[in-house]
Amino acid sequence: MKKFFLLVIAVVTLFGCSQGAGGQKSSGYEKLDEWTQIWKTGQQTCFGYPANQESALQDFYEWYVSTGMDRVNLNNAGDPMTDDPWSMSTQAFEKEVIEFFTPLYGFDQNDVWGIVTHSGTDGNNHGIYFGAKYLYNKTGTLPIVYVSDEAHYSNLRLCDLQNLEVKLIKSDPMGRMIPEELEKALDPERPALMVYAMGSTFKGAIDDMEALNAVLAKHPEMAVYRHVDAALFGGYLPFTEHQKMVSRKDQHFESIAISGHKFFGIDSPSGLFLCTHKVYDNQNNYNVTYLNGNMKMINCSRDAVQPLKFWWLIQKVGYAKWSEQANAMMDCTEYLAQELEKISWPCWRNEYSNTVFFKRPAKEICSKYNLALGYDENFGGELAHIVVMQHVTKAKIDGFIKELK
Ligand SMILES: Cc1ncc(COP(=O)(O)O)c(C=O)c1O
């Protein structure tokens, strides 16, 4: 009888819910265990997309579960920038997140409004919506949106959603909006809503805001709003010597959007949106008595956990370690470009960028390294790129180069 019980325990241990493939703890679901393995393997060589694969949230999850927070349903509906946050929200922490980033993007603490968004796209949605309402409320005329043909597609989608007229401005071969093309397209009779790319998605180009602002300044009577789409670059640039590139004090913009899951390594989509008070004050009012006052943001229910993760990372990683990471990324980007050049593999890179684009390698390499694909006749046609995030180390770059050779 005893032998029989021992046998049953051994069988349950072997085939039951303890171990999945590769020695990891089993979920009890075969399909999920298989995918866990695929995700964990893929994470090591995920080079083509701007996600930091070194999330520092393990102790957050331990705290979250051990305190029973996983059984508390919180919601950040409402304005986090008030001094009277709703108790079943994390708005008090969300406000501190905005306050931490306020000087990094060149805003003043007494002239900023912001939220933790659901993604970079959500931040752009707010930028375009706030810009359009600000300009319309100021002039009584709907603006034209000007955006480069290399900017992220979400900006076009959002203009479509918001029924705004768009003029797509040609960019130069490296991906920057061409000031002369903007000048040709400008209609000074209508307000201008500029969407500046602070790191175009494929080539990593930054629109030359100084030159583009100079074009706009030729029409002092024209009302202007500038939103910066800094989904990826807005993460690391504030922690480098190039902080001025994303500073409102130097670049003169009204709002900015950044993704939280890119540089900051939050493990699912999130982001930041910041604008000036003048912009906030010129939005349409929706006074909602059952929430904490005037709702200016687009969403009613908003995630309460992402702001908490952001806050946690500010405490645990913070300015010093983000600076180290940002500088290491810049260094590894340089290394990748040099190593590609050493083997005469055609490659290109914009200034301040952690993205290197190059002649497209064989299909198997593109697939193994999850390379993002592009096409441009100016660079010989078929291209791919690597976005050098925290997990793309020199050792991994060496492995990639070896396979290319
Ligand atoms: C320049 C740029 N803007 C916006 C986005 C969209 O951001 P999200 O994926 O956070 O919605 C991306 C995504 O890669 C991007 O590269």
pLDDT in tens, 127-178: 999 999 999 999 999 999 999 999 999 999 999 999 999 999 999 999 999 9
How much is the pLDDT for 19?
Answer: 52
pLDDT for residue 293 is more than 70: no
Yes or no: domain 70-316 corresponds to CATH 3.40.50.1010 = no
Mutate to test the pocket of ligand 1, among 49, 157, 202, 232 (most ligand atoms within 8 A of CB): 232
How much is the pLDDT for 7?
Answer: 42
Mutate to test the pocket of ligand 1, among 147, 158, 229, 264 (most ligand atoms within 8 A of CB): 229
Mean pLDDT estimate for the chain: 93
Question: Ligand 1 — pocket residues by CB below 6 A?
Answer: 50, 119-121, 152, 154, 197, 199, 201, 229, 231-232, 259, 269, 271
How much is the pLDDT for 83?
Answer: 84
Q: Distance between CA atoms of 325 and 116, rounded to whole angstroms? A: 22
pLDDT for residue 294 is more than 80: no
Q: For ligand 1, what atom is nearest to the CA of residue 119?
A: 10
pLDDT for residue 218 is more than 50: yes
Query: Where do the H-state alpha helices sit in 140-175?
Result: 153-161
**pTM recorded for the entire structure:** 0.93
Q: Are 107 and 279 in contact (CB under 8 A)?
A: no
Residues facing residue 381 across a β-bridge: 376
Yes or no: domain 321-404 corresponds to CATH 1.10.150.120 = no
Name the pLDDT band for 5 (thresholds 50, 70, 90).
Answer: very low
Q: For ligand 1, what atom is nearest to the CA of residue 201?
A: 16
Determine the average pLDDT of the residues in 56-75.
97
Distance 259 CA to ligand 1 centre (A): 7
Name the pLDDT band for 328 (thresholds 50, 70, 90).
Answer: very high
Distance 258 CA to ligand 1 centre (A): 8
How much is the pLDDT for 286?
Answer: 85
Distance 121 CA to ligand 1 centre (A): 6
One DSSP character per residue, 383-403 reads: EEEEE--TT--HHHHHHHHHH
Q: Which residue shows structure tokens 């709002």?
A: 255
How much is the pLDDT for 291?
Answer: 72
**CATH 3.40.640.10 residue window(s) in the chain:** 70-316
pLDDT for residue 61 is more than 80: yes
Query: In this prediction, what percent of the chain has a pLDDT beyond 90?
Result: 87
**CATH 3.90.1150.10 residue window(s) in the chain:** 321-404
Rg (Cα) of the chain, in Å, rounded?
A: 24
Distance 389 CA to ligand 1 centre (A): 15
Distance 66 CA to ligand 1 centre (A): 34
Determine the average pLDDT of the residues in 316-322.
97
**Residue 98 to residues 52, 117, 147, 167, Cα–Cα distance (Å):** 21, 11, 26, 32
Q: Of the given ranges (201-205, 257-261, 296-300, 339-343), which has the lowest mean pLDDT?
A: 296-300
Distance 237 CA to ligand 1 centre (A): 16
Distance 76 CA to ligand 1 centre (A): 23
